Structure 1
């Protein structure tokens, strides 16, 4: 695998993994009632996903311009990390919203 392709794959894996980790941390903050910190961690996860998405968009743009990207297990693995991170972050946002609602109801 050439250096450019490895950079793409590692960008997907690294940013996807960081995003999932931030989303997980957000859930932990919310469980502890630290909703401001949870929101900050979700924002950090969103930024990591933006970085990963930028890597993916660049790859898709090159593909559209006729520069074919060979698909191998590394690329599939990178895409898998990204898609799992997106799903995990979306579910974390919903879970945190529910925890906030429960906390509000308990405070009444």
Structure 2
């Protein structure tokens, strides 16, 4: 009888400890998954910006057309000199043409 009680007193805390350990692993796995998703999205943004930059030859996109397109899609353009931000992209203009679109390093 004493052996059964001792076995229960050891087994119950062990099971509780094991369940608490498994429960603590779940948030850590979710954080790792989110970090991986952010890295993937950052790579996709760089790919899109490189693809867009390949099409900017001989003023293929004017600043006015770019601002109109951004406004139609609910993305305001914030200009500071020749550089601007729109959504998650950094835009560079020269004269009246868009020269490049890049992903900021801080993103």
Measured against the shorter chain, the TM-score band is 0.3 to 0.5
Greater fraction of residues in strand: 2
Q: Which structure has the bigger radius of gyration?
A: 2
TM-score for the superposition, normalised by structure 2: 0.34
Q: Which structure carries more relative contact order (alpha carbon 8 Å, separation 6+)?
A: 1
Indicate the structure with greater helix content: 1
